[in-house]
Chains A and B, each alone.
Chain A
Amino acid sequence: MMKNRVVITGLGVVAPNGVGLSNFQKALEKGTSGIRFFPKLRDLNFSCHLGGEPIVSEEKKLQYLTPLQLRNFKSSGILYAVIAGIDAVNDASLSHFSDSEDPNWHLGIIFGTGISGVEKFREAIHRIDDNNVRRLGSTSVIQTMASGGSAYLGGILGAGNMVTANSSACATGTEALLLGYERIANGQATYMLCGSTSDCGPYIWGGFDALKVTNYKHNDSPQEVPGPMSANANGFIPGSGAGAYVLENMDHALKRGATIYAEVLGGAINNGGQKGGGSMTAPNSVAIQKCITDALTNSKVSAADIDYINGHLTGTIKDPDEIENWTLALNRKQGDFPYINSLKGLVGHCLAASGSIEIVASILQLHNNFIFPNSNVSPLHPEISALVGTEKIPTTKKIIPLKTIMKASFGFGDVNACVIFRKI
Chain B
Amino acid sequence: MTPEAIFTKLQPIIKVYLPEDVAVNDITLESDLARELNINSAYFVDIVLDIEDEFDIAVNNDDMERFETVHDVVALIQSKITGG
Binding site for B on A (CB under 8 A): 66-68, 71, 134-135, 137-138
A68 B49 Cβ-Cβ under 8 A: no
- Kindly name the residue among B17, B20, B45 whose own CB sees the greatest number of chain A CB atoms within 10 A: B45
Alpha-carbon separation in the docked complex, A135 to B58 (Å):
12
Question: Closest residue of chain B to A72, judged by CB?
Answer: B46
- Among A67, A71, A134, A138, which residue has its beta carbon within 8 angstroms of that of B42? A138
- B 18-54 binary contact with A (CB < 8 Å = 1; else 0): 0010000000000000000000001111100100000
Q: Tell me the smallest distance from the CB of B77 to a CB of chain A, in Å.
A: 17
Q: Tell me the smallest distance from the CB of A68 to a CB of chain B, in Å.
A: 6
Alpha-carbon separation in the docked complex, A137 to B42 (Å):
9
B75 proximal to A (CB < 8 A): no
Q: Which residues of A contact B45 (CB under 8 A)?
A: 134, 137-138
Q: Tell me the smallest distance from the CB of B60 to a CB of chain A, in Å.
A: 9
Instruction: Tell me whether chain B's interface is mostly helix, strand or loop, or mixed.
Output: helix
Q: Tell me the smallest distance from the CB of B53 to a CB of chain A, in Å.
A: 10
Question: Closest residue of chain A to B58, judged by CB?
Answer: A134
Chain B's interface size range is under 10
Q: Tell me the smallest distance from the CB of A66 to a CB of chain B, in Å.
A: 8
Alpha-carbon separation in the docked complex, A71 to B44 (Å):
14
A71 B16 Cβ-Cβ under 8 A: yes
B49 A137 Cβ-Cβ under 8 A: yes
- Kindly name the residue among A66, A67, A137, A138 whose own CB sees the greatest number of chain B CB atoms within 10 A: A138
A-B contacts, 17 listed (Cβ < 8 Å): A66-B20, A67-B16, A68-B16, A68-B17, A71-B16, A71-B46, A134-B45, A134-B49, A135-B49, A137-B45, A137-B46, A137-B49, A138-B42, A138-B43, A138-B44, A138-B45, A138-B46
Q: Which residues of B contact A68 (CB under 8 A)?
A: 16-17
Q: Tell me the smallest distance from the CB of B16 to a CB of chain A, in Å.
A: 6
Alpha-carbon separation in the docked complex, A96 to B44 (Å):
31
Alpha-carbon separation in the docked complex, A71 to B18 (Å):
13
Q: Which residues of B contact A134 (CB under 8 A)?
A: 45, 49
Q: Can you name 8 extra interface pairs (CB under 8 A) apart from A71-B46, A134-B45, A138-B45?
A: A66-B20, A67-B16, A134-B49, A137-B46, A137-B49, A138-B42, A138-B43, A138-B44
Alpha-carbon separation in the docked complex, A212 to B16 (Å):
45
Q: Which residues of B contact A137 (CB under 8 A)?
A: 45-46, 49
Q: Tell me the smallest distance from the CB of A348 to a CB of chain B, in Å.
A: 36
Alpha-carbon separation in the docked complex, A66 to B17 (Å):
11
Alpha-carbon separation in the docked complex, A138 to B48 (Å):
11
Alpha-carbon separation in the docked complex, A68 to B39 (Å):
12
Alpha-carbon separation in the docked complex, A311 to B16 (Å):
47
Q: Which 7 A-B pairs have the closest CB atoms?
A: A138-B42, A138-B45, A138-B46, A137-B46, A138-B43, A137-B49, A68-B16
Q: Which residues of B contact A135 (CB under 8 A)?
A: 49
- B 58-84 binary contact with A (CB < 8 Å = 1; else 0): 000000000000000000000000000
Q: Tell me the smallest distance from the CB of A95 to a CB of chain B, in Å.
A: 18
- Kindly name the residue among A66, A67, A134, A135 whose own CB sees the greatest number of chain B CB atoms within 10 A: A134
Question: Closest residue of chain B to A137, judged by CB?
Answer: B46
Alpha-carbon separation in the docked complex, A134 to B17 (Å):
19
